[in-house]
Amino acid sequence: MLPTPPARSPKNTLRWLLIALLTLIVLFTLMALTARERQNTTAVENILHTALYPFQTAAGWMANRMRTTTEAVQELVRMRAENARLRTEVDELRHVQTLNEVMVLENRDLRAELGLRQQAGYHLLAAEVIVRQSSNWFQSVVINRGQRDGVRSKMAVINSRGMVGYIEKVTYTTATVRLLGDRDFQVPVRTDKSGEFGVLKGRGNDEDPVVEFPYNRDAQVEPGHVIVTSGLGTTIPGDLYIGTVTSVYMQDNNLVRSGTVKPGVDLNHLSFVQVVMTEPEVNQGADSP
């Protein structure tokens, strides 16, 4: 039986209450300061991220290998049937590729004739996910690329299935990617068919993001339309595939047409991603993507 602690004096209780109050004020101030997006990370964050980097890389590597092995076994079962289907698809794609090559040449010539600038290509930087979102409220991952690799905040992050998110903050060795399902995620987009401009917003909690068209109440959007980035006013280039509209509705205020978007990427199973290394001058001055 442990001895009962002696009763505290009122003075002592008051001292602890003051400490608790002061701690609360400090923490709430810190929260308020870091609630908005930041361009730079603090020295403490840099040091801790760098210190954690080897452990996170090792743990992430093991987790990825375990997952890859499990998936490889599952894939093997599906592989035979898929192989036959893919052979047919390859033949079809070869035909499409030939057509595309002809069209690219034709497009280049036509753009030259019209005096238009060629669409800027961008360099992609491969990165491995070393830390996954571990909260029910925030959706982000940490990748093993940072300032030393030329990564900067607000760069787009994609994988073979489309846009994953954008760089939220960068340390020397790592970068945090805000995923497009995150509640604070926003990016300007457009529909590929009707060309309607809107904003894609994350909703968190594994729910599909929504696209809002605040500029046109009668936006021509239907389920099945493809959503891509618009490239307007951000470091995120245009035409990055995001997903497909699954439903369209008017918001409660009856002013903004909105739709739910099924993303191309599976945000719960990210292992490798690519950072779109856009040039700084592409930034047109907007303060958010």
Q: Shortest CA distance to 190 belongs to which of 260, 254, 251, 241?
A: 241
Tell the residue number behind the tokens 């995923």, with chain if given. 179
Our CB check for other proteins shows the closer of 67 and 111 to be 67
Q: Shortest CA distance to 167 belongs to which of 159, 178, 158?
A: 178
CB atoms near residue 55 (< 10 Å): 10
Position 206 contacts other proteins (CB under 8 A): yes
Our CB check for other proteins shows the closer of 2 and 76 to be 2
Position 138 contacts other proteins (CB under 8 A): yes
CB of 166 to other proteins, least distance (A): 14
CB of 85 to other proteins, least distance (A): 28
Q: How far apart are CA 180 and CA 202, in angstroms?
A: 6
As a whole number of Å, the end-to-end CA separation of the chain is 60
Position 60 contacts other proteins (CB under 8 A): yes
Beta carbons within 8 Å of 179's beta carbon, 6+ residues apart: 133, 139, 140, 141, 164, 165, 185, 202, 267
DSSP state of 13: H
Position 152 contacts other proteins (CB under 8 A): no
Q: How far apart are CA 164 and CA 202, in angstroms?
A: 12
Three-class secondary structure of residue 99 per DSSP? helix
Three-class secondary structure of residue 132 per DSSP? coil
Give the number of residues in contact with other proteins, rule: CB under 8 A. 53
Write out the two tokens for 165: 């998110």
Interface stretch with other proteins, choices 5-13, 114-122, 213-221, 238-246 (CB under 8 A): 5-13
* Residue ranges in 8-47 that form contacts with other proteins under rule CB under 8 A: 8-9, 12, 24, 26-28, 30-35, 38, 41, 44-45
Interface stretch with other proteins, choices 58-66, 107-115, 117-125, 238-246 (CB under 8 A): 58-66
* Residue ranges in 155-174 that form contacts with other proteins under rule CB under 8 A: 168-169
User: Residue from 127, 130, 164, 265 that binds other proteins (CB under 8 A)?
Assistant: 130
Our CB check for other proteins shows the closer of 69 and 88 to be 69
Query: Interface with other proteins by CB under 8 A: which residues?
Result: 2, 5-6, 8-9, 12, 24, 26-28, 30-35, 38, 41, 44-45, 48-49, 52, 55-56, 59-60, 62-63, 67, 130-138, 140-142, 168-169, 176, 183-184, 204-207, 268-269
